[in-house]
Structure 1
Amino acid sequence: MRITRHRYTVKPEYVAQNRQNLDEFIAALTSAAVPGLSYRIFLEEDGQTFLHLVTSQDDPSAVITGLPSFKKFQSELLASDPVATPDQVGMSLIASSGESFR
């Protein structure tokens, strides 16, 4: 299983646009129906920091980066001059309790 965490902080005036871009991206990714892929996006308490948690059986990067809505999200995010640029961290699951949530 592959687990990746992406985290970045946007300026307050860009939050609404980022959320709209993410809604479009998630709709397209859901339509792609990639088996074994879960893509969750969280907004931290500061209201500006986004955390993406991706779990998959295989490497989903080709599917994700091939979506026009992802390209739009990514290019507009970088053009918005984020407070903290996106970082990426690979992780390994070592323990779990309960079922996954939606």
Structure 2
Amino acid sequence: MKRIVQYKVKPERVADNERYVRAVYEELHRARPPGLRYATFRLPDGQSFIHLVSNEEADGANPLTALPAFKAFLAELRERCETPPVTTDLEEIGSYGVFDR
């Protein structure tokens, strides 16, 4: 499963969103869930974010959603957003160094 999630936060909530995202990465670095690849980017407008996720777990479970920091990130996401999250499934044609196995 490969997905991209894009959304735009309210200008006054950018720092909050970045704090939540950093907390997720801190927890990911400790937990090191197998089969998960995850990246977050802030776009040049300063308010829009893109999350790329690849989950190669055979049972389909998403280890990201089990993390307390990710649950905290999601808890108020809609309230932080100016434009709500849009999730798109991706079909990989090719990549270099992004989703290497």
Name the CA distance, whole Å, in 2 between partners of 1:23 and 1:55: 18
Q: Specify the SS of the correspondent of 1:87.
A: strand
Shift of 1:30: 2.2
User: Structure 2: which 5+ runs fail to align?
Assistant: none
Task: Report matched runs for 1:1-102 at 5 Å.
Answer: 2-58=1-57, 59-61=60-62, 63-80=63-80, 82-96=81-95, 98-100=96-98
User: Structure 1: which 5+ runs fail to align?
Assistant: none
Q: Specify the SS of the correspondent of 1:78.
A: helix
CA RMSD of aligned residues (A): 1.7
Name the CA distance, whole Å, in 1 between partners of 2:29 and 2:3: 18
Shift of 1:27: 1.1
Name the CA distance, whole Å, in 1 between partners of 2:83 and 2:40: 17
Name the CA distance, whole Å, in 2 between partners of 1:55 and 1:17: 25
Q: How many equivalent pairs are there?
A: 97
Q: Read off the aligned partner of 1:57 and give its amino acid letter.
A: E
Shift of 1:33: 1.0
Name the CA distance, whole Å, in 2 between partners of 1:79 and 1:99: 34
Q: Specify the SS of the correspondent of 2:34.
A: coil
Name the CA distance, whole Å, in 1 between partners of 2:43 and 2:71: 23
Shift of 1:26: 1.3
The superposition leaves residues 2-57 of structure 1 with CA deviations (integer Å, 9 ceiling, x where unpaired) of: 21101110011100110011000111122221122110001111110000000121
Shift of 1:60: 4.7
What TM-score results when the alignment is normalised by the length of structure 2? 0.85
Q: How many percent of aligned residue pairs carry the same amino acid?
A: 35
Q: Specify the SS of the correspondent of 1:83.
A: strand
